[in-house]
Structure 1
């Protein structure tokens, strides 16, 4: 009898221990949906509720897998400095699709935007930048008679062409201009934009590359309209758009527009 009682008590103790384990396990598991897949071996455990979020320097590296990780959609697209800068290209171009409405007064000058093949920049993006520049009230339409309209086909008055330095040099040389692989030009009916200037700007516009692109357009389209070079009008004043700002500001402050917000021209003494 005593041995039976001892055996019964031992069985009861085992049952209680097992039962206690079940009771301890069930409450935490009940928080998970019954359809949840088990965590695969080697995967990081989910952070407990209410835990402090890790800072970027504390975030553990993801486990290595045989497949490439998904791209981080929250990251910004590559900046201008990541754009490849080929020295030369095929000399053939892709036309930006679509067209714009007329901006300015008078008969619009029809223009086309083209990007040399092999350049990793969207012709559509270039065309949008050109459109915004020529439509800005501080641009050439402020003269009261200039007007523009972008087209994709048909006759044009001029072309805006983004190209590699070597291609720019070749086309600018047809008009007797030496661009030296570094600068832009306006020759015949072509506004030639050097890829390096479009992507890298200059030392005075490192923090405003997009603004410098407007300066390129305003300066070279200004030449097409018949405007010549001018220089800085005085210390601390805005640099004229028709000034060769790539050579220095000469005391002026950066400015990309030919007119100010009140419609007054921003200019200076003429230079040869």
Structure 2
């Protein structure tokens, strides 16, 4: 009787022991699974930290990702968006110097050209010369009708002006449709030899002052004069024009010849006929236009005389 009870206790103990071992066996897989999850989480967290350090991100939002992002494969560092503004200076190469002439305006303002002066060529005008002259041969035919006056053109030696070229320019001015031949009583012809009714002398300022001064005229190194049959043209005016004349130098030369030849054929000084109207060729335009418009010719395109009130 006592042995049976002992056997039952031993059987019960062995059965309880087997149940305990079975229970422990069944609990081990859960323990291993939990360990695996913890290990994986640790590795993923390490990878997340490495990625964040590699990108150099300093924004706090980058460190606040959810848990899902930590267990996913670590993303590779992203390349900055090319459209994002860069704080570093541009490394593009500067444009090579252009060999073409700049089209923009110069950065320093150039002085405005003096009216009547040639902006392309500034000729040095000698103050004086030897007082000797070379005669230019223009050729050409008689122009106009009525009283025909012969003329010649001379240029002072050393003036730097071609006597032949000057003679051709004077011939063209005298033959111009708006010139003095329009009066119907005046004509001109180049002198072939001997004496001439008119002599146009282009002289340096010093020589012009001497020639005009001999007749009591003060030209001050600037002005022209007409003495009887001699027209003295100041070289400075022939080359540079006049500050009061807005046209080209070639046009101002026409005014010089028309004004001085006008004196030779009997015309006196005139003044401005009214604001905005053409200044008479016989007006001393170099002294001011008095409201008139600069004009080189005694007549307009329709043959009307462009005169004004007489001046003593």
Same fold (TM over 0.5): yes
Q: Which of the residues 153, 157, 161 maps onto 1:121?
A: 161
8 Å CA contact 2:246, 2:294 repeated in 1: no
1:246 aligns with 2:286: yes
1:173 offset after TM fit, Å?
1.6
CA–CA separation in structure 1 for the residues paired with 2:246 and 2:304: 27
1:175 offset after TM fit, Å?
1.7
1:264 aligns with 2:309: no
Q: Which runs of 5+ in 1 are unaligned?
A: 1-52, 58-77
Q: Which of the residues 98, 102, 110 maps onto 2:142?
A: 102
Corresponding residue for residue 188 of structure 2:
148
Corresponding residue for residue 111 of structure 1:
151
With over 3 angstroms needed to count, the CA separation of the structure-2 counterparts of 1:178 and 1:97, relative to structure 1, is same
Aligned pairs for 1:1-272 (under 5 A) are: 55-56=100-101, 81-205=121-245, 207-272=247-312
Moved over 3 A (4+): 78-81
**Bigger Cα Rg:** 2
1:155 offset after TM fit, Å?
2.2
Deviations 1:48-77 (A, max 9, x none): xxxxx95246xxxxxxxxxxxxxxxxxxxx
8 Å CA contact 1:200, 1:206 repeated in 2: no
8 Å CA contact 2:138, 2:168 repeated in 1: no
CA–CA separation in structure 2 for the residues paired with 1:80 and 1:103: 33
Deviations 1:237-259 (A, max 9, x none): 00000000001000000110011
8 Å CA contact 1:96, 1:152 repeated in 2: no
CA–CA separation in structure 2 for the residues paired with 1:122 and 1:80: 19
Secondary structure at the aligned position of 1:82 is classed as: coil
Q: How many residues get paired?
A: 201
Q: Which runs of 5+ in 2 are unaligned?
A: 1-97, 103-117
With over 3 angstroms needed to count, the CA separation of the structure-2 counterparts of 1:169 and 1:250, relative to structure 1, is same
Deviations 1:76-96 (A, max 9, x none): xx9774322011101000000
1:159 offset after TM fit, Å?
0.2
CA–CA separation in structure 1 for the residues paired with 2:151 and 2:213: 22
With over 3 angstroms needed to count, the CA separation of the structure-2 counterparts of 1:129 and 1:187, relative to structure 1, is same
With over 3 angstroms needed to count, the CA separation of the structure-2 counterparts of 1:192 and 1:141, relative to structure 1, is same
8 Å CA contact 1:201, 1:212 repeated in 2: yes
CA–CA separation in structure 2 for the residues paired with 1:98 and 1:259: 24
8 Å CA contact 2:280, 2:295 repeated in 1: yes
The alignment's TM-score, normalised by the length of structure 2, stands at 0.61
Give the root-mean-square deviation of aligned CA atoms: 1.9
